[in-house]
């Protein structure tokens, strides 16, 4: 039987590993059509170093120590750093027991790692950003041609047509670094998909999804069960629902399956002024058919609706398959020789 070669999407994940970032790592590790080239971490749910140690511990649990994890920006571009321990726990993983004998890279930054990879593989890589956008903004400052070197980017962030979550007006990833988000949204990417609360707050795992994941006996499945349990504990109090939305995995899924969403093509601006609405994400959605002012910068694809059945089934299938995809041969990872300066886990 002839094997049909799968064209693997080459992805760099930039994250603030936390609970739903972890679900994204599990999901991506289960996709035979994804090569997780590298992970970079950023301040947000936890510190950038803690996020890196968390990412490396999750990848080790998944049998993916081939994937390099690099620490990124420790703080935002223009405001003090804030963390979200109330949602993700003090360690970012809900204090679940996990093997933390891991190493992460600090010899280069996540932004430098992204620029280096983009220059090495022009036009091939895609970015999934599930934390504040500081690393992406820094990479744009290091390499202004980055949007032409990257095939596409999917961002979990923003709240264009709905309330925020960090404040009534601002979503957490954007609120944690509004200046970075403004730079990223105006950069003119070949393709930029924004998975904001507009859609991610509809992605509550259904009882059938929870049951399917609870039935798994793989290390990845057991990890997903614990993570979903911790994430749901927060939402059961705050939203009164015994489930959780899959904010971050939604960005990954829409990058891989754009057909699972509907989009508004809008230029998204970020409120930078100090005050109540700082970090709000704004778009000119007036349905003018003429005389509409030119947008301030190239529009991006703002997800406005989802095919929830297909999206959630895709997520569960990825969790079910996780931990089985082969390691990328030759990839320098946690055991890589390039480790010059490391930070180790407990
Ligand atoms: O608003 C949700 C986002 O903030 C998610 O990325 C979550 O991990 C937190 O970073
Ligand atoms: Ca996140």
SS in 3 state form for the chain? CCCCCCCCEEEEEEECCCHHHHHHHHHHHCCCCEEEEEEEECCCCCCHHHHHHHHHHHHHHCCCCCCCEEECCCCCCCCCCCCCHHHHCCCCCCCCCCCCCCEEECCCCHHHHHHHHHHHCCCCEEEEECCCCHHHHHHHHHCCCHHHHEEEEEEECCCCCCCCCCCCCCCHHHHCCHHHHHHHHCCCCCCEEEECHHHHCCCECCHHHHHHHHCCCCHHHHHHHHHHHHHHHHHHHHCCCCCCECHHHHHHHHHHCHHHEEEEEECEEECCCCCCCCCCEEECCCCCCCCCCCCCCCCEEEEEEECHHHHHHHHHHHHHHCCCCCCCCCCCCCCCCCCCCEEECC
Average pLDDT over residues 204-224: 98
Pocket test for ligand 1, best of 54, 195, 247 (most atoms within 8 A of CB): 247
Q: Indicate whether 261 pLDDT > 90.
A: yes
Nearest ligand atom owner, CA of 44 = 1
End-to-end Cα, the chain, rounded Å: 48
Q: Indicate whether 242 pLDDT > 60.
A: yes
Domain housing 261 = 9-326
Task: Report the DSSP beta bridge partners of residue 245.
Answer: 204
pLDDT at 188: 98
pLDDT at 21: 98
Q: Indicate whether 83 pLDDT > 80.
A: yes
Average pLDDT over residues 299-324: 95
What tens digit of pLDDT does each residue of 117-154 get?
999 999 999 999 999 999 999 999 999 999 999 999 99
Q: Is the CB of 182 under 6 A from ligand 1?
A: no
Exactly one of 75, 121, 247, 257 is catalytic; name it.
247
pLDDT at 342: 52
pLDDT at 85: 85
- Closest approach atom of ligand 1 to CA 156: 6
pLDDT at 328: 63
Q: Is the CB of 172 under 6 A from ligand 1?
A: yes
Distance 223 CA to ligand 2 centre (A): 17
Q: With respect to residue 203, please indicate whether it lies within any of the assigned structural domains.
A: yes
- Tell me the CATH number at 69: 3.90.245.10
Pairing of strands 125-129, 103-105: unpaired
- The overall average pLDDT reported for the chain is 94
- Closest approach atom of ligand 1 to CA 88: 8
pLDDT at 136: 99
pLDDT at 337: 32
pLDDT above 90 covers what percent of the chain? 88
Q: Is the CB of 247 under 6 A from ligand 1?
A: yes
Q: With respect to residue 342, please indicate whether it lies within any of the assigned structural domains.
A: no
Q: With respect to residue 152, please indicate whether it lies within any of the assigned structural domains.
A: yes
247 as an active site residue: the answer is yes
* Largest CA-CA distance found in the chain, in angstroms, rounded: 63
Average pLDDT over residues 303-325: 93
Distance 17 CA to ligand 1 centre (A): 9
Q: Indicate whether 325 pLDDT > 60.
A: no
Distance 232 CA to ligand 1 centre (A): 14
Residues with Cβ within 8 Å of 146's Cβ and at least 6 positions away in sequence, in order, are 114, 115, 118, 139, 140, 187
pLDDT at 28: 97
- Residues 229 and 226: their CA atoms lie apart, in Å, by 5
Distance 18 CA to ligand 1 centre (A): 8
Q: With respect to residue 334, please indicate whether it lies within any of the assigned structural domains.
A: no
Q: Is the CB of 44 under 6 A from ligand 1?
A: yes
269 C-beta neighbours (distance < 10 Å), count = 18
- Residues 331 and 325: their CA atoms lie apart, in Å, by 14
Nearest ligand atom owner, CA of 14 = 2
pLDDT at 340: 35
Distance 62 CA to ligand 2 centre (A): 19
Q: With respect to residue 248, please indicate whether it lies within any of the assigned structural domains.
A: yes
- Residue 2 pLDDT level (bands cut at 50, 70, 90): low
- Closest approach atom of ligand 1 to CA 166: 1
**Domains held by the chain: number:** 1
pLDDT at 336: 40
Say which residue, 7 or 340, is predicted with more confidence.
Answer: 7
Q: Is the CB of 45 under 6 A from ligand 1?
A: yes
Nearest ligand atom owner, CA of 250 = 1
Q: Is the CB of 22 under 6 A from ligand 1?
A: no
Minimum CA distance residue for ligand 1 atom 7 = 20
Average pLDDT over residues 285-302: 93
Q: Indicate whether 6 pLDDT > 80.
A: no
- Residue 338 pLDDT level (bands cut at 50, 70, 90): very low
Q: With respect to residue 337, please indicate whether it lies within any of the assigned structural domains.
A: no
Nearest ligand atom owner, CA of 196 = 1
Residue 35 falls in which region: left (phi positive, over 0), alpha (psi -120 to 50) or beta: beta
- Closest approach atom of ligand 1 to CA 44: 10
Q: Is the CB of 248 under 6 A from ligand 1?
A: yes
Say which residue, 345 or 164, is predicted with more confidence.
Answer: 164
Q: With respect to residue 336, please indicate whether it lies within any of the assigned structural domains.
A: no
Q: Indicate whether 343 pLDDT > 70.
A: no
Distance 133 CA to ligand 2 centre (A): 10
Q: With respect to residue 341, please indicate whether it lies within any of the assigned structural domains.
A: no
- In contact, 6 and 33? CB cutoff 8 Å: yes
Average pLDDT over residues 225-231: 98
Average pLDDT over residues 325-334: 61
């Amino acid at each position: 039987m002839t094997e049909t070669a799968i064209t693997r999407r080459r992805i760099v994940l930039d994250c603030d590993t936390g609970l739903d970032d972890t679900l994204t790592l599990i999901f991506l590790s289960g996709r035979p059509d994804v090569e997780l080239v590298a992970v970079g971490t950023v301040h947000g749910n936890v510190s950038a170093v803690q996020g890196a140690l968390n990412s490396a511990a999750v990848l080790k649990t998944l049998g993916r120590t081939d994937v390099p994890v690099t620490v990124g920006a420790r703080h935002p571009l223009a405001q003090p750093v804030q963390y979200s321990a109330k949602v993700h726990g003090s360690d970012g993983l809900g204090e679940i027991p996990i093997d933390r004998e891991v190493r992460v890279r600090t010899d280069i930054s996540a932004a430098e790692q992204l620029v280096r990879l983009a220059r090495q593989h022009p036009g091939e890589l895609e970015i999934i950003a599930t934390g504040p956008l500081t690393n992406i903004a820094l990479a744009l400052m290091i390499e202004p041609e980055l949007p032409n070197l990257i095939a596409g980017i999917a961002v979990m962030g923003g709240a264009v047509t709905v309330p925020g979550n960090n404040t009534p007006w601002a979503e957490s990833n954007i609120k944690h670094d509004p200046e970075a988000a403004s730079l990223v949204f105006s950069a003119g990417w070949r393709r930029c998909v924004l998975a904001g609360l507009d859609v991610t707050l509809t992605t509550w795992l259904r009882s059938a999804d929870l049951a399917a994941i609870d039935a798994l006996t793989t290390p990845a499945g057991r990890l997903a069960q614990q993570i979903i349990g911790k994430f749901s504990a927060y939402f059961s109090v705050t939203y009164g629902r015994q489930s959780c939305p899959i904010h971050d995995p939604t960005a990954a899924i829409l990058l891989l399956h754009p057909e699972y969403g509907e989009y508004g093509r809008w230029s998204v601006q970020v409120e930078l002024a100090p005050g109540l609405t700082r970090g709000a994400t704004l778009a000119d959605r007036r349905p003018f058919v003429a005389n509409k002012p030119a947008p301030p910068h190239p529009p991006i694809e703002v997800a406005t609706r989802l095919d929830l059945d297909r999206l959630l089934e895709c997520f569960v299938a990825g969790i079910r398959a996780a931990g089985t995809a082969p390691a990328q041969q030759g990839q320098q990872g946690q055991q890589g020789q390039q480790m010059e300066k490391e930070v180790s886990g407990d």
